[in-house]
Amino acid sequence: MMSDAHPNGTDLCSKIARLAMEHGWTQEEFARHANLNRLTIRNVFQGGKRRLHNATVCACARALGLSVADLQMLPFERLAPLMKVRGLATADSRQRQFEQATQPELVAWLERNSQRANQLTATEMDELLSLQGTGGPLTAFGVAHFVELIERKRRLMEQAAAVAGTEYIDLLEQFVQLLYEKIQPYADRK
Protein backbone atom coordinates (compact mmCIF):
# COMPACT_ATOMS: atom_id res chain seq x y z
CA MET A 1 0.00 0.00 0.00
CA MET A 2 1.32 3.46 -0.85
CA SER A 3 0.58 6.84 0.62
CA ASP A 4 0.96 10.54 -0.06
CA ALA A 5 -0.17 13.55 1.88
CA HIS A 6 -1.62 14.97 -1.31
CA PRO A 7 -2.74 13.48 -4.62
CA ASN A 8 0.77 13.95 -5.92
CA GLY A 9 3.64 13.38 -3.53
CA THR A 10 5.67 16.42 -4.56
CA ASP A 11 4.48 18.54 -1.61
CA LEU A 12 5.36 15.82 0.88
CA CYS A 13 8.70 15.14 -0.81
CA SER A 14 9.68 18.81 -0.87
CA LYS A 15 8.66 19.14 2.79
CA ILE A 16 10.80 16.13 3.75
CA ALA A 17 13.75 17.46 1.74
CA ARG A 18 13.46 20.94 3.30
CA LEU A 19 13.27 19.51 6.82
CA ALA A 20 16.29 17.28 6.17
CA MET A 21 18.23 20.31 4.93
CA GLU A 22 17.12 22.26 8.06
CA HIS A 23 18.90 19.55 10.04
CA GLY A 24 21.98 20.18 7.91
CA TRP A 25 21.86 16.73 6.30
CA THR A 26 22.91 15.84 2.77
CA GLN A 27 20.94 13.21 0.87
CA GLU A 28 23.41 10.54 1.95
CA GLU A 29 23.31 11.60 5.61
CA PHE A 30 19.52 11.67 5.60
CA ALA A 31 19.44 8.20 4.03
CA ARG A 32 21.57 6.94 6.93
CA HIS A 33 19.40 8.67 9.56
CA ALA A 34 16.20 7.34 7.99
CA ASN A 35 17.79 3.93 7.36
CA LEU A 36 16.66 4.08 3.73
CA ASN A 37 18.31 3.44 0.39
CA ARG A 38 20.07 6.46 -1.14
CA LEU A 39 18.06 6.04 -4.36
CA THR A 40 14.84 6.33 -2.37
CA ILE A 41 16.07 9.52 -0.72
CA ARG A 42 17.24 10.89 -4.07
CA ASN A 43 13.68 10.35 -5.35
CA VAL A 44 12.37 12.30 -2.34
CA PHE A 45 14.84 15.16 -2.82
CA GLN A 46 14.03 15.35 -6.55
CA GLY A 47 10.36 15.90 -5.88
CA GLY A 48 9.01 12.37 -5.76
CA LYS A 49 8.85 11.11 -9.31
CA ARG A 50 7.41 7.92 -7.76
CA ARG A 51 4.81 7.67 -5.00
CA LEU A 52 6.19 7.08 -1.51
CA HIS A 53 5.51 3.85 0.34
CA ASN A 54 4.04 4.16 3.84
CA ALA A 55 7.24 2.64 5.25
CA THR A 56 9.30 5.34 3.53
CA VAL A 57 7.13 8.14 4.91
CA CYS A 58 7.30 6.56 8.37
CA ALA A 59 11.10 6.23 8.25
CA CYS A 60 11.49 9.84 7.10
CA ALA A 61 9.16 11.13 9.82
CA ARG A 62 11.00 9.12 12.48
CA ALA A 63 14.39 10.43 11.31
CA LEU A 64 13.02 13.97 11.45
CA GLY A 65 11.54 13.42 14.91
CA LEU A 66 7.97 13.96 13.74
CA SER A 67 4.82 11.89 13.64
CA VAL A 68 3.65 10.74 10.22
CA ALA A 69 0.44 12.73 10.67
CA ASP A 70 2.37 15.95 11.38
CA LEU A 71 4.66 15.35 8.45
CA GLN A 72 1.81 14.66 6.05
CA MET A 73 -0.81 17.14 7.18
CA LEU A 74 0.97 20.22 8.45
CA PRO A 75 2.34 22.78 6.00
CA PHE A 76 6.06 23.44 6.30
CA GLU A 77 5.43 26.88 7.79
CA ARG A 78 3.65 25.24 10.75
CA LEU A 79 6.20 22.42 11.05
CA ALA A 80 9.18 24.71 11.66
CA PRO A 81 7.73 26.15 14.92
CA LEU A 82 6.56 22.65 15.91
CA MET A 83 10.12 21.37 15.52
CA LYS A 84 11.33 24.10 17.92
CA VAL A 85 8.58 23.30 20.43
CA ARG A 86 9.50 19.62 20.35
CA GLY A 87 13.15 20.51 20.82
CA LEU A 88 14.38 19.24 17.47
CA ALA A 89 17.80 20.62 16.78
CA THR A 90 19.12 22.17 13.61
CA ALA A 91 22.75 21.67 12.61
CA ASP A 92 23.83 24.96 14.27
CA SER A 93 22.08 24.30 17.58
CA ARG A 94 23.33 20.70 17.62
CA GLN A 95 26.90 21.91 17.14
CA ARG A 96 26.49 24.35 20.04
CA GLN A 97 25.20 21.52 22.22
CA PHE A 98 28.12 19.26 21.31
CA GLU A 99 30.46 22.08 22.27
CA GLN A 100 28.87 22.07 25.75
CA ALA A 101 30.02 18.50 26.29
CA THR A 102 32.92 18.83 28.69
CA GLN A 103 33.14 15.39 30.27
CA PRO A 104 35.78 13.33 28.42
CA GLU A 105 33.57 10.22 28.33
CA LEU A 106 30.74 12.16 26.71
CA VAL A 107 33.03 13.89 24.20
CA ALA A 108 34.57 10.55 23.22
CA TRP A 109 31.15 8.90 22.83
CA LEU A 110 29.89 11.79 20.65
CA GLU A 111 32.94 11.51 18.41
CA ARG A 112 32.70 7.71 18.09
CA ASN A 113 28.92 7.68 17.55
CA SER A 114 28.24 10.78 15.46
CA GLN A 115 25.30 9.21 13.59
CA ARG A 116 23.49 8.25 16.80
CA ALA A 117 24.41 11.57 18.40
CA ASN A 118 22.90 13.46 15.45
CA GLN A 119 19.59 11.68 16.03
CA LEU A 120 19.31 13.04 19.57
CA THR A 121 16.81 15.87 19.87
CA ALA A 122 17.82 19.08 21.62
CA THR A 123 15.91 17.96 24.71
CA GLU A 124 17.63 14.56 24.71
CA MET A 125 21.03 16.19 24.30
CA ASP A 126 20.24 18.56 27.18
CA GLU A 127 19.39 15.50 29.30
CA LEU A 128 22.79 13.99 28.52
CA LEU A 129 24.58 17.27 29.20
CA SER A 130 22.85 17.57 32.57
CA LEU A 131 24.39 14.25 33.66
CA GLN A 132 27.95 15.55 33.28
CA GLY A 133 30.19 16.13 36.25
CA THR A 134 33.00 14.51 38.17
CA GLY A 135 31.71 11.33 39.73
CA GLY A 136 28.31 11.92 38.11
CA PRO A 137 26.01 9.35 36.51
CA LEU A 138 27.82 9.44 33.16
CA THR A 139 31.04 8.42 34.89
CA ALA A 140 29.41 5.76 37.06
CA PHE A 141 27.17 4.10 34.46
CA GLY A 142 28.66 5.22 31.14
CA VAL A 143 27.37 7.39 28.34
CA ALA A 144 26.20 4.43 26.24
CA HIS A 145 23.90 3.32 29.07
CA PHE A 146 22.13 6.69 29.22
CA VAL A 147 21.92 7.08 25.44
CA GLU A 148 20.31 3.64 25.21
CA LEU A 149 17.76 4.68 27.86
CA ILE A 150 17.00 7.88 25.92
CA GLU A 151 16.60 5.94 22.66
CA ARG A 152 14.35 3.37 24.36
CA LYS A 153 12.13 6.14 25.75
CA ARG A 154 11.89 7.71 22.28
CA ARG A 155 10.93 4.38 20.68
CA LEU A 156 8.30 3.74 23.36
CA MET A 157 6.81 7.19 22.86
CA GLU A 158 6.70 6.68 19.08
CA GLN A 159 5.06 3.28 19.49
CA ALA A 160 2.53 4.61 22.02
CA ALA A 161 1.71 7.47 19.65
CA ALA A 162 1.17 5.00 16.80
CA VAL A 163 -1.13 2.84 18.96
CA ALA A 164 -2.99 5.95 20.15
CA GLY A 165 -3.93 6.63 16.53
CA THR A 166 -5.73 3.29 16.21
CA GLU A 167 -8.81 1.57 17.55
CA TYR A 168 -6.62 0.23 20.40
CA ILE A 169 -6.43 3.60 22.16
CA ASP A 170 -8.81 2.42 24.92
CA LEU A 171 -6.58 -0.57 25.66
CA LEU A 172 -3.48 1.65 25.65
CA GLU A 173 -5.17 4.09 28.02
CA GLN A 174 -6.09 1.29 30.45
CA PHE A 175 -2.58 -0.16 30.33
CA VAL A 176 -0.90 3.19 30.92
CA GLN A 177 -3.31 4.01 33.77
CA LEU A 178 -2.54 0.65 35.42
CA LEU A 179 1.20 1.21 35.17
CA TYR A 180 0.88 4.81 36.34
CA GLU A 181 -1.01 3.69 39.44
CA LYS A 182 1.73 1.14 40.15
CA ILE A 183 4.50 3.76 40.19
CA GLN A 184 2.64 6.29 42.34
CA PRO A 185 3.60 6.35 46.02
CA TYR A 186 1.12 4.46 48.21
CA ALA A 187 0.23 7.67 50.10
CA ASP A 188 -0.97 9.37 46.91
CA ARG A 189 -3.52 6.63 46.16
CA LYS A 190 -7.08 7.33 47.21
Residues 50-107: tens digit of each pLDDT: 788 888 999 988 888 888 887 888 776 666 555 554 555 555 556 666 788 888 888 8
Neighbours of 145 (CB within 10 A): 12
Angle at 137 between CA 134 and CA 139, to 5 degrees: 55
pLDDT in tens, 107-129: 888 888 877 887 787 788 888 88
Q: Count the domains in the chain.
A: 2
This prediction's pTM? 0.51
Domain boundary among 31, 63, 85: 85
Which of 15-29, 87-101, 107-121, 132-146 is predicted with the least confidence, judged by mean pLDDT? 87-101
CATH number at residue 31: 1.10.260.40
CA distance 78 to 125: 24
CA-CA-CA-CA dihedral for 75, 23, 153, 34, to nearest 10:
90
Q: Are residues 101 and 159 in the same domain?
A: yes
Angle at 44 between CA 43 and CA 48, to 5 degrees: 70
